[in-house]
Structure formats: C-alpha cells, structure tokens
Structure 1
Amino acid sequence: MNLGIGLPVADPATLLTWAQRADDGPFSTLGLLDRLVYDNPEPLVALAVLAGATSRIRVQTEVLLAPLRDTALLAKQAATLDRMTGGRFVLGLGVGGRDDDHRAAGTDKRTRGRRLDEQMAVMRRLWSGEPYGDGAGPIGPAPARPGGPEVLFGGFQPAAIERVARWGDGFLAAAAPSWAGGLFDTARRFWKEYGRDGEPRIVAQVNVALGPQDVIDDARATMHAYYAFTGMADRMVAGMLTTPAEIRTAVTAFGDLGADEVMLYCHGRDPHQVDRLTGIV
C-alpha cells in the first residue's frame, strides 16, 4: 500500500520544501485541496510548480472543484500537466459545497452534480483527441496517459460514488476507517454494475499532525478555519491523529479494508512533519 502526503494550504511559500522532502522519502503522492473563496493556492498552478521541483512523486488535486471551472480549459490544463509530468498527475474531482465558491465562479450550486457529469463527458472526448464540436476542433496537447490523466472522485453520497464507475479510475474517501469500508464497498459495487474490469483504485485520506504541541495546535487551528463552513469543524479537528501509534493504526486499518493508498493530510505548516512521518511509516 502506498502512502502520500496531503499538503497544508496556509503558507504556499513552504510547499516547495514539503514537496522536495516528500520526493526524497517513501511517499507516493502529493495532494492539494481546492477552494475559491479562501486564502489557499490554486491547486493546478501550485502542483505544476511542485511537479517541476520533483522527479518521481505524483501530484494530485484532492479534490479540484470542477464545476467552478470552464470545461475546455480544465481539460487542456489537466492534459498539459499530465503530459509535462510524464503521467505523474492525478486529477481528483468533486463538486464543491460552499455557496460563496459558486457565487464567485458564477455557477449554480444546485446543478453542480449534473454539470460535473457533463464536464466529464466533454473532457473524456477531448483527451481522446476528438473535436470539441460546434465548429471547434480538437484541444491538445494529448495527455501522457491514453484517455486522459487518472481521475479520482471524492464524495459520500451514492450519486457521487457512482461517478467513479461511470467516468473515473478510482475513489477518494475522506472518512475514518470505522465508516470508510462501506464507502469502499459502494464504489466497488458500482464498478461491477457498470461492467468495469478489475477494481477501482481506492485512496483514503486521514488528517494528521506530528510534532511538538505548537505544531499540533497550528494544525488544529488551520484545519478548523478551513472547515468552519461545514458546521462540523470541531468534530473533524477532534479526529485528527497526532501520535505515531494513532497514525500506524489508521494506516493498518485502511490496508485491511483494501485501500491502495492512504493520504496523510497535514494542515500544520511545519515541513519537518514530512521527516517525522517518514520515521514512522
């Protein structure tokens, strides 16, 4: 099972240090969150910079809020990043739940699920080299991976998880091991119902902070601010893992559930956490 690092969004200037340390370590993937109306780096731009500063580690949106973006441009950006990284780009997608993000983007939150399905139909066509249509030709470049970059979908409701089988390659689950198993099973069930070969790639996400108390306090504060809009920030922060034993137990539990990768998401800004996590995994 692979282990990745979820990058903090509070201080973009430190992300090169995070990325280079992770690239030198045992980690498989760098993940980056997405919001529009927030003080976070734009993930496609940031991951392009990080990909250029690393040599082997994958870069992954976790998750990119696709309905906020123009479809043709997103297809071109994703194909470019996939091509220029030699296939190291993973496009994790979601619909976005904040009213202000949709308001700023000029999109209708009520139709975000339908819009994502429409976007995927267009992007899959463009990545395969077909014309856009309506008098517009193909949109390149061709991605490194035939058919487009690897696509993961995040979500909790059946309609969101069904997209994994309909359009994607895998499922991204930001859930504790105690209830992630049911989500994994739902993704696998849809995969079989759609007649897909093999199984979906399953990626789990767990929030962690490792270090002195000031590092843990910083992680809790930044995570609380990021998720305040959900009304469940206190509960989410309480679930953050802050000891080596807790992190090892969660990784083992996800492995027992059949996860292919676990993203250790760090909200605290101290990049020495990469070294500490290397020491326990």
Structure 2
Amino acid sequence: MVHFGIGVSTAVSATADTLARAVQADRGGLDLVTVSDHPYHADRLDAYAEIGVLLGRTERVSGLVSVTNLPTRPASMLARTVTSLSALTGGRIVLGMGVGGLWDDIARLGFAKLTPGQAVRAFEEGIRLVKLLGGGGAPVTFDGEFYQVTDLEPAAEAMPPVWTGSVGPKSLAVTGRVADGWMPGHAADWLSERYRTSRPLIDKAAVDAGRDPGEIATVYNFPGRITAEPLARTRTGDGRWIGGSPAQWVEELTGAVLEHDAAGFVLFGPGGSAPDEAAVARWAEEIVPAVREALG
C-alpha cells in the first residue's frame, strides 16, 4: 500500500484550521494526518493530545506523530498511549519515533541530556521495548541501559508499525535492525543525496540483522506548490522539488513509486508549512486518485 497524507499545524493559534484540515483529509480519502512533537514550546499543542482529538473527529484516516520526541516520552508509557489510541480508533495509528535533537530544549523540560551515542542506544532500546508491549503474550521484563520494566503485561492491542526519522549513520542502522519504516529528515526525497547515502545504511543493517530491507517502507514528507498551470521547472537547480500542476505531481509521484520504491507521501506547503484548504482539496481530489489509478 502507498500512503498519502498531509501534515497539519501544531500551533495553538491554528487549532480551528487544523481540525478542519484533518476532517477534510478524512472525507477526501487520504490515509494519514501527521503532527510534529515539540513539547518544550508553549505555543504548540501537545502532539499526542492533538492526534487523539484529530482521530476522534475523523473516521478513516490514521494519525502519526512525526516523530515522537522519545527523550520526553518514556517508552513504556508511549507504548500504553499508542496501543490505547489504536484500541480507541480501530487501529488508526502509526508510531513515529525519533532520537531527539534539541537537547537544550529537552533539558528545559527537566529531562537529562544524553550524548549522541547514548541517545541512539536509548532510541534502539525504546523501539525494542514498545514492540514487546503490544499484542498480548507473557509479561515483559526488560533490563536495559535506559529502560527497565519488570513483569509488565503487554497490551492486548497490537503495536502499530514503527516509523523513524533517523538521520545519522548509527540511528539509520537502528532503523534497519528494528523499525518498519523511515521518513527521511529535512524533507529529503528519492533524488536527494541524503536518500542515496542513507538508505543503503538501513538496508545493510537490515540484512545483517536477518531482515528483508524491502519490508522497511520509505515515506516522504514532501513540500511543494500545487499550481493551476504547469511550471517550466519542477525542481530547483540543486534538485529540490518545487511543485507544479496536478499532472506534474502525478507524474513525479508515480515515478517515485515505480522507480524508487516510495511507500508514501505526506503533503506540506512550501517551506514545510501546513497545506491550506485549496491545496488539500487538489491533493485529495485530483492528485492522489490519479496516482492510485496509475499504480493500478
């Protein structure tokens, strides 16, 4: 399955528009609504409070925190949150997980700073632990460097797929070993140097762990303009996507799936802004159906 979604704002001041865009995405037949996770900013909504409300307002679309700020959300509690959302929504949730990066901001929340090496090790432990805490089974005892639980009963609800926002070589290797999907950082796409140098590290780690790299989806945050008329150029001189007419978007995305194994696209406006009502309408009503039809 190829996933099509939109990213919505987490700004407190944009709440009404955010709710409207989620409902629009749901009614338009999209697959995902995503929000970012920056709990240290007072003018931003808490990501899991927001995604819970958005899922409560919708019927079909899935929610994704892209990606969960793991240092501020202990893995065992994150597992409880996500399996609860899954049970409440009929499985309409994907678990995004990240290493964490803005450590001064994280520290202001009262959490300890980790070194880059510690952060990556905690990231891998966190993914392994959350995967143990869904789907029922025997009580879990986990004695890690960063996480310890004792005789903790897993939720009966299955743990949803885990997608990461890995950037560095060590965290990319973690994605290959234990995750189910990857969302390249900095809105990099399938033609970027970041993708060309990063995806092989995921694939090698997967093979070394006895996994099939093909089972690790690549889903792209994809900003751009949707224009009424075709653009003379759809990419900048350095190769970054600008946008274009619906037909140009359809050609680009279809090629990404067929030629580069892209597994999904989350629409953002130019510069990573939340797409407006008109852009979401063209995405859901013109571009996504045409790509789905082209893919058969």
TM range (shorter): 0.7 to 0.9
In 2, distance between residues paired with 1:211 and 1:9? 25
**Gap change, CA 1:135 and 1:9, over 3 Å in 2:** closer
1:121 equivalent in structure 2: 128
The residue correspondences of 1:180-219 to structure 2 (distance < 5 A) are: 180-197=195-212, 199-210=215-226
Structure 2 partner of 1:107: 112
Amino acid at match of 1:99: W
Please give the alpha-carbon distance, in whole angstroms, between the structure 2 residues aligned to 1:157 and 1:260. Answer: 21
Specify which of 269, 272, 275 is matched with residue 281 of structure 2. Answer: 275
Structure 2 match to 1:52: 56
- Normalized against structure 2, the TM-score is what? 0.75
Contact 2:6–2:275, Cα closer than 8 Å, also in 1: no
Alignment of 1:1-281 (within 5 A): 1-10=2-11, 11-38=14-41, 39-105=43-109, 106-110=111-115, 111-129=118-136, 130-131=138-139, 133=141, 136-139=150-153, 141-143=155-157, 145=158, 148-173=159-184, 174-179=187-192, 180-197=195-212, 199-210=215-226, 239=240, 241-244=242-245, 247-248=249-250, 250-255=252-257, 256-266=259-269, 267-268=273-274, 270-278=276-284, 279-281=286-288
Offset of residue 59 of structure 1: 0.9
- 1:92-130 CA-partner distances (Å, limit 9, x unpaired): 111121133321231214132222222223222222544
- 1:209/1:242 contact within 8 Å kept: yes
**Greater RCO, CA 8 A, separation 6+:** 1
8 Å CA contact 1:18, 1:274 repeated in 2: yes
1:177 is paired with a residue whose SS is coil
On the 8 A contact 1:63/1:92 being kept in 2, the answer is yes
- Change in 2 beyond 3 A, CA 1:117/1:258: same
Identity across the alignment (%): 26
Tell me how far apart the structure 1 counterparts of residues 251 and 37 of structure 2 sit (CA, whole Å): 28
Q: Distance in 1 between matches of 2:227 and 2:8?
A: 16
Q: What is the CA distance between 1:259 and its match in structure 2?
A: 0.8
Alignment partners' CA distance in 1, 2:215 and 2:149: 38
How many residues align? The count is: 254
**TM-score using structure 1 length:** 0.79
Unmatched tracts of structure 1, length 5 or more:
213-234
1:135 and 1:260, CA in 2 relative to 1: closer, same or farther beyond 3 A?
A: closer
Alignment match, 2:231:
none
Q: Cα offset for 1:71?
A: 2.4
Q: Secondary structure at the match of 1:202?
A: strand
Which of 1 and 2 has greater Rg? 2
**Which sits farther off after the overlay, 184-193 or 164-173?**
184-193
Q: CA RMSD in A?
A: 2.7
Residue type of the partner of 1:23? D
